[in-house]
Amino acid sequence: MQEVTTSRVVIVGAGLGALYAALELAPRPVVLISPEPLGEGASSAWAQGGVAAAMDASDTAAAHARDTVKAGAGTVDAEVADLVTRDARDFILDLTAKGTPFDRGADGGYVLSREAAHSFARVVRVKGDQAGAQIMATLIDVARKTPSIQVLEGVMAIGLETSSDGRVEGLVVQSASDTGSDPVMLRGAAVLLAGGGSGGLYAVTTNPPRIRGQVIGLAARAGAVIADAEFVQFHPTAIDVGEDPAPLATEALRGEGSILLNRQGQRFMTQVHPDAELAPRDVVARAIYAQTQAGNRPVLDTRDVLGARILTQYPAVASACTRNGIDPATQPIPVAAAAHYHMGGIATNTEGRASLKGLWVCGEASSTGLHGANRLASNGLLEALVFARICAQGIAAEVPEADAPPVVLDLFGSGVPPDAEAVRQLRETMTTGVGVVRDATGLSRALRTIAALEQAHGDSPSFLNMCATATLIAAAALLREESRGAHERSDFPTPHAGPGERSFLTLDGALTLRARICETPE
């Protein structure tokens, strides 16, 4: 295998966490590994709601932390919640200084939206539903002007090399083209994984096509501990028009007062939860799912509260509706629950360090303990920012400043890309057996199918990474014999008594469980 050694810090990913960490590391030289052109294919750019922060004079970071803990259904690490919310305001001010055009009122104050399970309006937004895209555009512009940052586009990570004592010593990369390339071992001064979550492992998802658990999977295959894998958040209001990925109808629409109706025109959330449409996401997602399963195709009705204003105030939503023949100013928007955010991921401590030595992780690929069993809306981008800085500070303390020439990779030959039909079957399996509502039968069947797909298509490293993450999610879901937050077991409908507990699992442990399931007659 070709080997390339650099004194640059190697960052996997090109979303919010990756870019912010690269900027925080300046002037230390870094190289970003991005499968897509910069600004494309990252979940950060698709985030509509915004960044949660206590910006209002009557709001506090402590209240934000309490809401985070409450929404997480007993498994949030309170120390991490305090850590992330404490400096949230500073990150908004820093992004503003970098040029992010947050919505401002006539008095110059930030326009704040209230989203589900928040006790205050504290979501800072851009043009209604453009926060992720605009923050990314700002950071990309700054990054391109920063001499210490090199971006390798069209390259994807497929593996980690570790030493006998579990220290990360290299990153295996290849071309992200349809045919791939021969693998290359890239050895850098440090490795930061910031390559996204796992939503794309599901057939119905709001995530970009490449976000299919590969980064979590490659770390798991190297021996990293994975935390809270069973907790996958399903967004209640993906726009149900048959697109893959599904467009998103931001939660801010419900914050504005939009309501959910079923086919009979009944507002069903008032019968489900005291907060109705602003109940925690898991509650709304299950209610939407139940309506869908009953054939009562649910819709989001924005007409009375927004009318034609939705066309200008929420352009991403309006555009998705228009291209599918829906006029949201005069028609309700069909919605469905879709895999949106993975609360689980590579377990990290408060310094952003994984269980493998020499490996840092930030963003959705990590599991810091902030989100618990049910992420509080718009905490995802905030967590990515906070831990990007924490990881950058940790790496800077260990990596001396030094000049480094650009990394040059010779990506020749051809690799083994994932088989498209196998990926389709994997995604359908996850939606069917490991979706909004789970049970032992469906989870066991999913593990058997994943094992069969892996055996038939295990020559593709990228597909092995997907299967590793899928196995971890399904195995952790089978082991948690209770319902908690986003994890709903129809055969164990109530949560365990007392405080909740986080889950920690290695791939070896998940594979042992999978093998036992496969040996058991169905």
- Which segment of 26-30, 312-316, 430-434, 503-507 scores lowest on mean pLDDT? 312-316
How far is residue 368's CA from residue 81's CA, in Å, rounded to a whole number? 9
pLDDT at residue 79 is higher than 80: yes
Confidence label for 117 from pLDDT (cuts 50, 70 and 90): confident
pLDDT at residue 514 is higher than 90: yes
In the three-class reduction of DSSP (H, G, I as helix; E, B as strand; rest coil), residue 14 is classed as coil
| pLDDT score at 356 | 97
Please report how many Cα atoms fall inside a 13 Å half-sphere around the Cα of residue 154, on the Cβ side. Answer: 11
Q: What is the pLDDT of residues 326-336, one digit of tens each?
A: 999 999 999 99
pLDDT at residue 521 is higher than 90: no
Distance of CA 302 to CAs 257, 310, 419, Å?
A: 8, 8, 41
Neighbours of 88 (CB within 10 A): 24
Q: What is the pLDDT of residues 285-297, one digit of tens each?
A: 999 999 999 999 9
363 Cβ contact list (under 8 Å, min separation 6): 13, 15, 16, 17, 18, 44, 194, 195, 196, 383, 384, 387, 388
Confidence label for 147 from pLDDT (cuts 50, 70 and 90): very high
pLDDT at residue 132 is higher than 90: no
| pLDDT score at 128 | 76
Higher per-residue confidence, 441 vs 410: 441
pLDDT at residue 222 is higher than 90: yes
pLDDT at residue 115 is higher than 90: no
**Residue-range domains of the chain with CATH:** 232-340 (3.90.700.10)
| pLDDT score at 416 | 87
Its pTM stands at: 0.95
pLDDT at residue 210 is higher than 80: yes
Q: For tokens 């927004």, what's the residue?
A: 306
Enumerate the active-site residues: 281
In the three-class reduction of DSSP (H, G, I as helix; E, B as strand; rest coil), residue 508 is classed as helix
Distance of CA 150 to CAs 15, 210, 445, Å?
A: 14, 21, 44
Residues 321, 329 contacting (CB under 8 angstroms): no
Name residue 218's amino acid: L
Neighbours of 38 (CB within 10 A): 18
Confidence label for 131 from pLDDT (cuts 50, 70 and 90): confident
| pLDDT score at 509 | 98
| pLDDT score at 41 | 73
pLDDT at residue 397 is higher than 80: yes
How far is residue 510's CA from residue 514's CA, in Å, rounded to a whole number? 6
**Distance from CA of residue 335 to its chain's centroid?**
20
| pLDDT score at 116 | 81
